[in-house]
Chain A
Amino acid sequence: MSEKVLMKGAEALAEGAIRAGCRFYFGYPITPQNETPEYMSRRLAEVGGRFVQAESEVASINMVYGAACAGVRVMTSSSSPGISLMQEGISYISGSGVPCVVMNAMRGGPGLGNVAPAQADYLQAVKGGGNGDYKRIVLAPASIQEGVDLFVDAFDLADKYRMVVMVIVDGLIGQMMEPVEFKTTVDVASLKKPDWATTGRHGRDHANIISSLMMDTATLEKWNLELQAKYAQVTETETRIEEYEMADAEYAIVAYGTMARIAKTTVRTARAKGVKLGLLRPITVWPFPTKQLQKYVGQIKGALTVELAYRQLFEDVELALCGKVPLGWYGRGGGVVPGPQEILAAFEEQFGKGR
């Protein structure tokens, strides 16, 4: 029986992860998500888990790697500059085929930037900031509630596909407070222990080795082909999108996360003015909902991508729709968050009054 609790995003998401079965957290403080490790330091012990404050984000992701090899539900969280430090670890974890969840509360950049909300780590998240051919599933909630709900999926997907799953939020979701309900509590005892984990043989008739190193080229190629097949499977079955007011839409805004939430108000305002505007909100930004976007070719007369970044999400929208639908773009950087009127003005400037 769940009740609504008023919670700060970074804390609610931590509780969401715990309800999803996370029992191990390794992390390092960085604004705007300090409340996540702080919450974990209090709460994990209460559920028989372990919290470790690592010496850095590099150490954090490598601790996660070690724990992931034990086949447990483990996560870390950070913000943009710290996520940059984790790219090596994410590549290793992906190349080894073990599961984990990484949360990024994105902030202004590049470099140290500032602590205000941004979506400027999109390409880093979906195209990969580490070396080699790997993908990670990237979930982009637009509210604290959705974030809490998606954490259950994040750990399930990570375990099912033995992949890194990233949950990308921004400083706004991290720092705001909203009523939230924890609808699901995973029974950790019921989770299947994976047979590939390195937990000591304890009578197992063979040794388990977990490594991303394969010196023989044929072996590494074969492994890469397996990874590619896995990613194709994920793309086929796990892509998610919200299509808001799209049934009769003549124009669409494409946005995710906080920006999509703001854009919903723009859609409602435009509709009130007689403009048939809708919103396409990717919930998985990897795999990108290409097919779902392309469904609207021939129906919509234009699509405006809106993001807290400079043409990052836009690249994927272009890949999906370029040449097929007139495309516009609007974005702000530096941690600046535009309001719904500003987005409407950008839409009208680029697509006319839309009637």
Chain B
Amino acid sequence: MAEEMKVIYERPKSWANKVTHYCPGCTHGVAHRLIAELVDEMDLIDKTIAVWPVGCAVFGYEYFNFDSVEAAHGRAPAMATGIKVTNPDDFVFTYQGDGDIASIGMAEVVHAAARGWPITVIFINNGNYGMTGGQMAPTTLLGQKTTTTPMGRAPQLNGYPIRLPEMLAQLDGPAYIARVSLDSPVNIRKAKASMRKAFNAQIRGIGFSLVECLSTCPTNWQLTPVESMERIRKEVMAYYPLGEFKVAEGVL
């Protein structure tokens, strides 16, 4: 006798049915999945325009069933601004890695935040430049070895890491700025809740929103996926604390 089954979890409709190019265990897949779930739950698939970066997520548009554009390296917030101004009722988000947003794209994201216009930025922090082979990123930790910090990052040679949400929260423009982590099921659920708030900050027209997601890069960290999640907890969170750094009135 066949039993009736209810859905506990099914693949989101806005998720395109393709196997991703991401490495095994890479949390880009998790962040992508959360976005797809939220787009479904908040009924945004017909109104979404995503702006993809240069980095591992350069092919991100392959995995979603909504409109997407490809930006030049670091310029996604500028492109998103152009898109939002011409499509003010649509949901416009950028998805950027640590190099894209905090290195070459620092000016663009600071000014998008200062403008305060309602676009949403999803920032994936995995502490290195994955796509190009593991060079230092602005979020590489002191002491961390990368292909351009072979002796470990040292301030006198390579400067200090950057905490972006803390910086941007000082501006008057942003409506919602947060840092979350994708290291565990509990934190992934909290990350989704944060992203929902960020999406709402835009949908309700309140203002600019940004969520930084602590993420893994097993390949360039030279750890297994499980060890990589552990590294976030043991090393990354100490420098990059989780939390909401700006929550404007009306953001839920």
Contacts and interface: CB of A to CB of B under 8 A. Distances in A.
- Any A–B CB pair closer than 8 Å: yes
Interface stretch (A23-31, A87-95, A175-183): A23-31
A55 B54 contact: no
B191 to A, nearest CB: 27
Contacts of A160: none
A311 B72 CA distance: 26
A41 B150 contact: yes
Nearest to A27: B148
A31 B103 CA distance: 17
B135 to A, nearest CB: 4
Interface string B127-156: 001011101101000000001111000000
A239 interface: no
A19 to B, nearest CB: 20
Interface string B63-74: 000000010111
A34 B146 CA distance: 12
A37 interface: yes
Interface in B204-240: none
**Chain B interface residue count: which class?**
20 to 34
B58 A41 contact: no
A42 interface: yes
A37 B70 contact: no
Interface string A42-65: 100000000101011110000000
Tell which of B54, B147, B150 has the most Cβ of chain A within 10 Å.
B147
A34 B104 contact: no
**Chain A interface residue count: which class?**
10 to 19
Interface string A70-109: 0000000000010000000000000000000000000000
A29 B135 contact: yes
Contacts of B54: 112
Interface string A1-41: 00000000000000000000000000011110010011001
A29 B148 contact: yes
A56 B58 CA distance: 17
Given A56-B74, A112-B58, A42 B150 contact: yes
Contacts of B99: 29
Contact of B103 (A56, A81, A111): A56
Contact of A34 (B132, B149, B150, B157): B132
A56 B138 CA distance: 11
B133 to A, nearest CB: 5
Tell which of B104, B148, B157 has the most Cβ of chain A within 10 Å.
B148
Interface of A: 28-31, 34, 37-38, 41-42, 51, 53, 55-58, 81, 111-112
